[in-house]
Amino acid sequence: MTRQLAIGLVAHDDKKADLVDWALAHAAFLEKHVLYGTGTTGGRILQALPQLQLTRLKSGPLGGDQQLGAMIAEGRLDILIFFVDPLSPQPHDVDVKALIRLATLADIPFACNAATATLVVKGLDA
């Protein structure tokens, strides 16, 4: 991979710790790219990895999911890593569905769990 990628990082509340753990395990890859994280998720990642080039957006329910969606629609996001909690209801489920829909329509790599995110990273880092 020769160019920097724009990567969106977001996780539902019960998956934030999993995303931080995943980011720690893949810090060498993430350090090479430009990252965007929704409010709390981005803050937790930066606490663990302050060296990352990560821009914090608004919290997901307060517009962060929509900010990432706008970036996808404008062709400014290359990858979306969104650790989804399928067992907890989300009050902003409509925003989440819209974000997933945009990632699918834009045909960008979209990982909703650690296993898929790891495969995406390994594929790009080869």
Catalytic residue among 13, 14, 18, 65: 65
Residue 88 marked in a binding site: no
Query: How far apart are alpha carbons 31 and 26 in whole angstroms?
Result: 9
Tell me whether residue 65 is one of the annotated catalytic residues: yes
Cβ pair 97, 1 in contact under 8 A: no
Residue 75 marked in a binding site: no
Q: What is the pTM of this model?
A: 0.94
List the pLDDT tens digit at each of the 126 positions of the chain: 578 999 999 999 999 999 999 999 999 999 999 999 999 999 999 999 999 999 999 988 888 999 999 999 999 999 999 999 888 777 667 888 889 999 999 999 999 999 999 999 999 886
Residue 69 marked in a binding site: no
